Amino acid sequence: MKLSFNIALRFLNSSKGQTFLIALGIAIGVSVQIFIGSLIQGLQIDLVDTTIGSQPQITITSTSDDKLIGDYESRLSDISSDYEGVKHVSPSADGPALVTSDEENYSILVRGLSFEAAEGIYKTKERLVEGSLPENKNEVLIGTTLKDESGIQIGDEVDVLTSSGENQALTVTGIFDFQVANLNSSWVLTTLETAQSMFSYDDRITGIEMQVEDVFLADTISSDIQADLPEDLLAENWKDQNASLLSGLNGQSVSSYMIQVFVMISVLLGIASVLAITVVQKSRQIGILKAMGIRDSAASLIFVFQGLMLGIAGAILGILLGLGLAYVFTRFALNPDGTPVVPLYINPGFIALSAGFAIVVSTLAALIPARKSSKLNPIEVIRNA
Amino acid sequence: MRNVIELKKINKIYGSQVKTQVLFDLDLAIEEGSFNSIIGQSGSGKSTLLNIIGTLDQPTDGEVYINGKRTDQMNKNELATLRNETIGFIFQFHYLLPEFTALENVLMPYRIQYGKVPADKLKRANELMALVGLEKVKNNKATNMSGGQQQRTAIARALMNSPKIILADEPTGNLDSETTETVYNLLRDINKEMGTTFIIITHDRRIAETADRIIEIKDGRIALDI
């Protein structure tokens, strides 16, 4: 065992150029894997985060005639405590309304939130570009688009007409920017109490919103919640509403796996063929070792060890190359504002997996020459001297 | 003296389509501690005979006994162990591993069988290097030595596991006459001091005549045995 390892090491050492080339071949395979993997994962995480990161991933609404949920406090605490993986459970009381400014009407959605609970979902503090969050009754936030279109400023008192025909004067305390034009023009955020009194919901709300730890588990958690809800409440999750995004992500993952698999196959073939040649190069040595009594298994192990060592060297070099490539990419492939085009996601687990895979593949590739060396008969070498 | 090698009715046929018989019903017994030379023209079958004795080749039929054990029915691993412990080879070409130093090459047979080299075995390897007159170049890579030095290293290697038998196929074929003389004197000394049995193929009659016994092979049969 140790002798085989030792001989393998000497063989690799004696032809440094060849060793370096094989290791470099493996390294390039590994680095492409790591780079493409990090790129695709980063792309997906970015996409998922942009799409659903700042919105509820599971929403509970009522299917009753008035669309209202009563006695919500206990339900909120039940959901937070009973289901694993649920975070940021937040009530909302929404209602449509019209806001009038300079004789023009703008259609809005008044969203009454508990800002403290909703912070986890909407990150309102981060999104606030001017002013401050509403603290008192009848204070609201408006979006940047609505501000630009209507000319409403911080401190202005605006008239809001609810769908039931009631008028309410609200004071603007801040401007938010959700980076989605639709939300920036239609949403008006206020406290839960303000919305409840505006729309005469009393102590009821229109929805319970939440996020989950693993966004891809939203559907199973959602159906778990649904099972425990009364009939007139409905739990919906982002996956049902974003089927096309999901299939896009899936397609991306599949194509990324395909690339990675074929990269590894070409690496495997490369190593196998080069190592097969080294058996021929070293046939004299193997022949004399066999004449001196080395067992076939030990002779095979020499090549397996070579594959293993090349795999390890290639994996380490590949990780460095891949990370270097990733670094260069995030440094130089930039948006006009200086942020990377795609933020890479460096996942140590994935990198370890790629490296481990390369090592296994190299060792497997070495089995072909190992078999060949096991079959080598010393008499052939000695006769053909 | 007992026989350390015994061959009984050895036939060797090469090829399956076109059959070429190289050895014909050959019987041979070699005494322990003797110094034997095999002569014969090229193609007479002498190398095949040596390879069969060395278990590198298998007879088509017949029985081979090395050190009292029948070898023609052993499996590959048993043969490997037998070769390692009982037989030392010296070929026309030295077959040193160029990746290792001379001393490491000498230690190789020991490491194949036992792995780690204890201090007394390292001492033995050094003594063998001294015996073949190479203590000064023992740490040179095998490629960094002259032909005579390489062949003497190969001899030291063949002696490492104190084998009962040393088989040599034209051990001086690639050496000049002066070095040939040195190498043969060395082999004779080893034979006398360690009692190792030698079988040496040579085309050099002068050298063959110094042996205890000369066996001439002609057309796959023993033509002369004195």
Residues composing chain B: 226
Nearest to A5 by CA among B206, B115, B215: B115
Give chain B's largest Cα–Cα span.
53
CB A117 within 8 A of CB A157: no
Whether residue A223 is contained in a domain is answered as no
pLDDT of residue A319: 92
Give the closest of B80, B99, B115 to A3, CB-based. Answer: B115
Same domain flag for A294 and A163: no
Average pLDDT, chain B: 86
CA distances for A152 relative to A375, B10, B131, B207, angstroms:
87, 112, 105, 116
Identify the domain boundary among A182, A205, A228.
A205
Same domain flag for A47 and A75: no
A362 pLDDT more than 80: yes
Tokens of B21: 């018989």
CB contact under 8 A, A7 and B116: no
CB contact under 8 A, B100 and A10: yes
Same domain flag for A269 and A362: yes
pLDDT-derived band at A384, boundaries 50, 70, 90: low
Same domain flag for A85 and A193: yes
| H or E element at residue A89 | strand A86-101
CA distances for A115 relative to A47, A120, B213, angstroms:
25, 9, 108
Tell me which chain B residues have a C-beta less than 8 angstroms from the C-beta of A294. 80, 84, 112
Same domain flag for A89 and A187: yes
Rounded Cα distance, A206 and A315, in Å = 55
Burial class from Cβ neighbours inside 10 Å (0-12, 13-18, 19+) for residue A34 reads buried
Q: State what percent of residues in chain A have pLDDT above 70.
A: 99
Domain count, chain A: 2
Enclosing domain of residue A252 = 2-51+245-384
Same domain flag for A77 and A12: no
Residues 44-63 in A contacting B (C-alpha not used; CB under 8 Å): none
Tell me which chain B residues have a C-beta less than 8 angstroms from the C-beta of A378. 56
Tell me which chain A residues have a C-beta less than 8 angstroms from the C-beta of B89. 291-292
Average pLDDT, chain A: 85
Tens of pLDDT, residue by residue over A249-299, are: 888 888 888 888 888 888 788 878 888 888 888 888 888 899 888 888 888
The number of C-beta contacts closer than 8 angstroms across A and B is 74
Same domain flag for A80 and A199: yes
Rounded Cα distance, A81 and A98, in Å = 38
Same domain flag for A99 and A46: no
User: ipTM value of the model?
Assistant: 0.89
Give the closest of B57, B84, B113 to A379, CB-based. Answer: B57
Q: State what percent of residues in chain A have pLDDT above 90.
A: 3
- What CATH number is associated with residue B119? 3.40.50.300
Whether residue A297 is contained in a domain is answered as yes
| Cβ atoms < 10 Å from Cβ of B29 | 12
Give the closest of B56, B92, B113 to A291, CB-based. Answer: B56
CA distances for A368 relative to A20, A311, A372, angstroms:
20, 15, 6
Name the residue type at position A252. Answer: Q
pLDDT of residue A256: 83
A87 pLDDT more than 80: yes
How many degrees, rounded to 5, is the angle at CA A29 between CA A23 and CA A31? 95
Segment among A41-50, A86-95, A140-149, B154-163 with least mean pLDDT: A41-50
Enclosing domain of residue B83 = 3-225
Same domain flag for A19 and A97: no
Residues of B with CB under 8 A from a CB of A: 47, 51, 54, 56-57, 76-77, 80-85, 89, 91-93, 95-100, 108-109, 111-113, 115-116, 157, 169
Whether residue A230 is contained in a domain is answered as no
Helix (H, G, I), strand (E, B) or coil at A62: strand
CB A325 within 8 A of CB A317: no
Query: Which residue did the predictor score with more confidence, A1 or A258?
Result: A258
Nearest to A165 by CA among A190, A196, A198: A198
Tell me which chain A residues have a C-beta less than 8 angstroms from the C-beta of B116. 2
Most confident of A66-70, A163-167, A340-344, B160-164: B160-164
Tokens of A357: 């895979």
Same domain flag for A87 and A182: yes
pLDDT of residue A385: 52
Using a cut of 0.80, tell me whether the model's pTM lies above it. no
- Nearest-CA distance from B109 to chain A in Å? 6
Tens of pLDDT, residue by residue over A14-40, are: 888 888 988 898 898 889 888 888 888
Same domain flag for A345 and A378: yes
User: Which candidate in B47, B55, B97, B117 is best for mutational testing of the A interface (most A CBs within 10 A)?
Assistant: B97
In chain A, the residue whose alpha carbon lies closest to the alpha carbon of B88 is A292
Same domain flag for A42 and A76: no
pLDDT of residue A312: 92
Tokens of A109: 């959605």
Task: Give the pLDDT mean for B138-159.
Answer: 87
Whether residue A235 is contained in a domain is answered as no
Whether residue A56 is contained in a domain is answered as no
pLDDT of residue A305: 92
Rounded Cα distance, B120 and B122, in Å = 5
DSSP code of A51? I
Task: Give the pLDDT mean for A169-188.
Answer: 87
Tens of pLDDT, residue by residue over B53-62, are: 888 888 888 8
Domain count, chain B: 1
